[in-house]
Amino acid sequence: MPSSPDYYELLGVSREADASEIKKAFRTLARQYHPDVTGGDAEATERFKAIGEAYAVLSDPAKRAEYDRYGRVADGDYMSNAVFDDDMFGDLGAIFQGLFGGAMGGFGGGQRSRPGGPQPGQSLMMEVSLTLEDVARGVEREVSYPRQTSCSSCFGTGAAEGSRRERCSSCNGQGQVHQTRRTLFGYTSMLTVCPTCQGEGEVVGTPCSSCRGKGRVQESVTETVKIPAGVDDGMRVRVRGGGDKGVHGGPDGDLVLQVSVQRHERFRRDGRDLLCEQTISFAQAALGDTMTVPGILEDQTLTVAAGTQTGKVLRIAGAGLPDPRDGSLRGDQFVQVRVVTPTKLSGEEKELLFRFARLRGEHPTEPEEKGFFNRIVDKLTGR
C-alpha cells in the first residue's frame, strides 16, 4: 500500500503543531497556491490540492491520529484526498469560492486560466446512499450523470467548419479587461474577465452548431464505482478523471461520491464497531447459554456466562465492520443483554419458581385476588 506524502512537511508545521497552527499554515498556503492567484498553473494547482488533502487529514483529530500511527490514511481505491471536511468550506469560503462552485458542487477546477491555455475539468460530486449491510460487504454502484466534454463536431474549437477562432478585439486577446468601479474609497480599476470572449482571448467567427460555439458539450456517462467496505457517513470516494473533461489538454476533473449511510433498525455503529441489544431469559442469565444472534451479514454465536446481569455488554470479536483503509482490520460486535422477566407462567413453571424461591429462603406470596379466590374454592370444596 503506498504511503501518503508528509502532510506536516506540506503544511510546514511540526508534528506537535496544534489545531490553530495547522489552520493558520493552511490558510497562508491556500492563499498562496490558489489557482486564482497562480493563474491556474498546473503544478501550483496540484500543490493546492495536496495542501487541501494535508489539511483535511491533520485538522481531523481521528484522521490525524490514524495518519500519525500508520503514516497514511488511504489505499488505492479509497483516496483520502477525497475527504475534505466541511469546516474548510465554511471557514475559508472566500478562498474556495469559484474553485468549489459549480452546478453539482464540484471542486478542483473550473476557474479560468490563461486565455486559450489548458484548463482543468471540474470535479463533480454526487451522493451515494448505502445500507449498513452495503457498508459491511463493500459494493459497486453504477452512477449516471452528465459531464462536460469536448465537442466532437468542432474538435473543441467552437468554430464551424470553414470558420476559425480570431483574436477578441474587446480585450485584444488578453482575456481580461479593466473595469472601473466606484467604491467607498473612490474609483478603483479592477481586472475582470472579458465579457466578450469570457476570458478565452479569442472569439469564433461562425459558431459550431453542435455546441453553439462553446467547444464543449454535455454527455451522459455511466460509471461503475467500487465503494470499499467499511466507509462511514460523510466519507468521499474519488474516481480520478470521472468529472468534466479538461480543456486544451488540461487535466480531467474527478467524480466524487459522498457516502451517506442509512440508519439500521438493529445496529448502531461506532467507527468499526457495531452495537446491538439482545433479550435473554432469566434462566439463560442465571445458568448461562450459547445462542445464535443476528450479525450484520451472518448469524453470530453469543456465549452468555452463568450469572450474567441485565445491561451487561458482551463482545463478539471480529464481527464488526472492516476498516475502509485496511480490510484486514475489523471491528467487533457489542451485544448488550437485557434480562426479560417472564409474564405468563404455566402451572408447572410457577411451581418450580416457588420451589426455587423457598430454597433461597424467600417467601413469595401469590397475588391477593388469587389468594382470595383460592380461599373461596377451599370453602366450596369443604377443605
Which of residues 53 and 202 has its CB atom nearest to Zn ion in the complex? 202
Q: Shortest Cβ distance from residue 193 to Zn ion (Å)?
A: 9
Question: If binding means CB under 5 A, how many residues of this protein chain bind Zn ion?
Answer: 12
22 and 90 in contact (C-beta within 8 Å)? Answer: no
How many CB atoms within 10 Å of residue 186? 7
Among 170, 278, 281, 310, which residue interacts with Zn ion (rule: CB under 5 A)? 170
Among 154, 227, 335, 339, which residue interacts with Zn ion (rule: CB under 5 A)? 154
Q: Shortest Cβ distance from residue 196 to Zn ion (Å)?
A: 4
* 159 lies in the site for Zn ion, by CB under 5 A: no
Grid cell listed for 55: 489539511
Q: Shortest Cβ distance from residue 152 to Zn ion (Å)?
A: 8
* 208 lies in the site for Zn ion, by CB under 5 A: yes
Among 51, 83, 171, 339, which residue interacts with Zn ion (rule: CB under 5 A)? 171
The DSSP output letter for 305 is P
Which of residues 83 and 194 has its CB atom nearest to Zn ion in the complex? 194
Which of residues 9 and 166 has its CB atom nearest to Zn ion in the complex? 166
- Cα dist from 60 to 26, 65, 73, 256, whole Å: 13, 8, 12, 20
Q: Shortest Cβ distance from residue 251 to Zn ion (Å)?
A: 21
Which of residues 34 and 165 has its CB atom nearest to Zn ion in the complex? 165
Helix boundaries (H) for the chain: 7-11, 19-33, 35-38, 42-58, 61-70, 86-91, 93-96, 132-137, 282-287, 347-359, 368-380
* 136 lies in the site for Zn ion, by CB under 5 A: no
Q: Shortest Cβ distance from residue 217 to Zn ion (Å)?
A: 7
How many CB atoms within 10 Å of residue 322? 21
Strands 124-130 and 255-261: parallel
* 281 lies in the site for Zn ion, by CB under 5 A: no
* 194 lies in the site for Zn ion, by CB under 5 A: yes
Which of residues 170 and 310 has its CB atom nearest to Zn ion in the complex? 170
Which of residues 154 and 225 has its CB atom nearest to Zn ion in the complex? 154
* 176 lies in the site for Zn ion, by CB under 5 A: no
Residue type for position 321: L
How many CB atoms within 10 Å of residue 77? 15
Q: Shortest Cβ distance from residue 71 to Zn ion (Å)?
A: 48
Among 168, 237, 285, 337, which residue interacts with Zn ion (rule: CB under 5 A)? 168
Which of residues 192 and 279 has its CB atom nearest to Zn ion in the complex? 192
Among 151, 257, 261, 304, which residue interacts with Zn ion (rule: CB under 5 A)? 151
What's the CA gap between 241 and 256, in Å, rounded? 10
What's the CA gap between 226 and 239, in Å, rounded? 9
Which of residues 112 and 238 has its CB atom nearest to Zn ion in the complex? 112
Nearest to 237 by CA among 323, 322, 324, 320: 324
Q: Shortest Cβ distance from residue 197 to Zn ion (Å)?
A: 3
Among 196, 278, 281, 300, which residue interacts with Zn ion (rule: CB under 5 A)? 196
Grid cell listed for 9: 512537511
Which of residues 170 and 300 has its CB atom nearest to Zn ion in the complex? 170
Q: What CA dihedral angle connects 178, 179, 182 and 187, to 10 degrees?
A: 20
Which of residues 34 and 112 has its CB atom nearest to Zn ion in the complex? 112
Name, in order, each residue with C-beta under 8 angstroms of 86's C-beta and a sequence gap of 6 or more. none
The DSSP output letter for 174 is S
Of 119-127, 148-156, 247-255, 298-306: span binding Zn ion (CB under 5 A) = 148-156
Among 38, 131, 163, 210, which residue interacts with Zn ion (rule: CB under 5 A)? 210
- Cα dist from 246 to 47, 104, 197, 249, 254, whole Å: 18, 17, 19, 6, 10
Among 131, 153, 163, 281, which residue interacts with Zn ion (rule: CB under 5 A)? 153
Nearest to 206 by CA among 169, 154, 171, 151: 154
Q: Shortest Cβ distance from residue 209 to Zn ion (Å)?
A: 8
Site residues for Zn ion per CB under 5 A = 151, 153-154, 168, 170-171, 194, 196-197, 208, 210-211
